[in-house]
Amino acid sequence: MSSETLLKAPPATSIYTPTSEVRDRFDTYVMGTYGRFPIALERGAGCRVWDTEGKEYLDFVAGIATCTLGHAHPALAATVAKQIQKLHHVSNLYYIAEQGELAEWIVKHSCADRVFFCNSGAEANEAAIKLARKYSHTVQQIEQPVILTAKASFHGRTLATITATGQPKYQKHFDPLVPGFAYVPYNDLEALEDAISDLDEGNRRVSAIMLEALQGEGGVRPGDLDYFHGVRKICDETEILLILDEVQVGMGRTGKWWGYENLGIEPDIFTSAKGLAGGIPIGAMMCKKAYDVFEAGNHASTFGGNPFACAAALTVAKTLEEEGILDNARSRGEQLRANLNAIAQQHPSLISEVRGWGLINGLELKEDIELTAVELVKAAMNKGLLLVPAGNKVVRFVPPLIVSAAEVDEATEKLEAAISSLVP
């Protein structure tokens, strides 16, 4: 079902505030931790948003792969309105019915047996790192465990997860970093095998391999099937844990529930967050029963798995399932890649590649041209299309999973107009 048939644009609820006033307030009171584009968004409906000056945009960012059902979806709106009047938060000192129901849904729709809930992707990955380390010490009997991650990866902004992130630009000025991590090229099995051998010395050993099924921030780079089958084989033979970071690709984004389904393998531990509750903050770390070594007091999260977030996530899950939205994600993804490839053929001197799964796709600009991803994103914004960079040369397309065929065509028409405005 398209976003256009689901709902109409909600009316503005306030007098428009000039964007400059919003920016001035931000610059005065909010830390400058983000490089913000010069618009302030006020409201949304389906795959469209409006800024505080009334301009409409087609949203192919979706909160960076987060607003699974788009904006103001009737089912999600009804759930959060009902739940906030019923019970929105209690401590994990008590049983939470919604949390148990969501965990059951995840287990029945994945390879996992156990679930831990938190608030974000970074927290989910932090939980996975802690679980792997405890397993390393208590089961594998490794005194100095090392977790291998990929170069160009992105796993979060906490100290442990930026250390796990194989991009020095995110680590600069935050040393000393957390020990126990090493990095290898993505999709390079020989380099992985060499690293495992090189790191096996004395009391030190590789205990886990942590990878994204598709690298998002690293340029929308899907995992190679042969590579991941090889990684799974190595892990099986050496008893190394395989952790998959599915924060960006999980929960239907690729046209399948989980990214690993595109690779034909199963992880031992995996994480999810962004799209899980369609924009309500939640994160989850899942594992198979054999690796569930956490005990009471080992890990916790005050807000993790509260009734409000879990009710929202259950609604997202059930809506995706009942309305066949994963089929839409696959179909619209194929359409989007076809459209982008047609644009690439028209501009061979600008565009080097189009790649992705489902509704996470990247358009890579050629390295030898001056045009950057940010510049193209700004040009698209001027044409009423919101996109997001994934590195210096890749533009990412991650619309809500309810996007319609007409909206995909509209987005690529706006992209063509943006490119034309940049290229004589």
Pairwise CA distance, residues 156 & 24, whole Å: 29
Describe the chain by its helix, strand, coil percentages, rounded to 5.
40, 20, 40
Pairwise CA distance, residues 134 & 138, whole Å: 6
Report in angstroms the alpha-carbon separations of 116 from 147, 226, 290, 391.
20, 30, 15, 31
Collapsing DSSP to helix, strand or coil, 33 comes out as coil
Report DSSP state, residue 275: G
Pairwise CA distance, residues 67 & 168, whole Å: 29
26 is catalytic: no
CB atoms within 10 A of CB 23: 14
Report DSSP state, residue 251: T
Pairwise CA distance, residues 179 & 164, whole Å: 10
Token pair for 158: 């906490």
318 is catalytic: no
Would you state the torsion angle of the CA atoms of residues 292, 295, 297, 298, taken in this order, to the nearest 10 degrees? -40
Q: Which of 274, 383, 393, 414 is catalytic?
A: 274
Q: List 50's β-bridge partners, or say none.
A: 43, 56
Token pair for 382: 């001027």
Report DSSP state, residue 120: S
Q: Which of 116, 154, 270, 308 is catalytic?
A: 154
Buried b / exposed e along 325-360 (16+ C-beta atoms within 10 A): bbebbbebbeebbebbeebbeeeeebbbbbbbbbbb
Is 355:327 a contact under the CB 8 Å cutoff?
A: no
Report in angstroms the alpha-carbon separations of 344 from 227, 337, 351, 363, 378.
28, 10, 5, 9, 19
274 is catalytic: yes
Q: Which of 59, 245, 383, 393 is catalytic?
A: 245
Residue with tokens 């100290």: 159
Pairwise CA distance, residues 364 & 347, whole Å: 12
Active site residues per annotation? 154, 245, 274
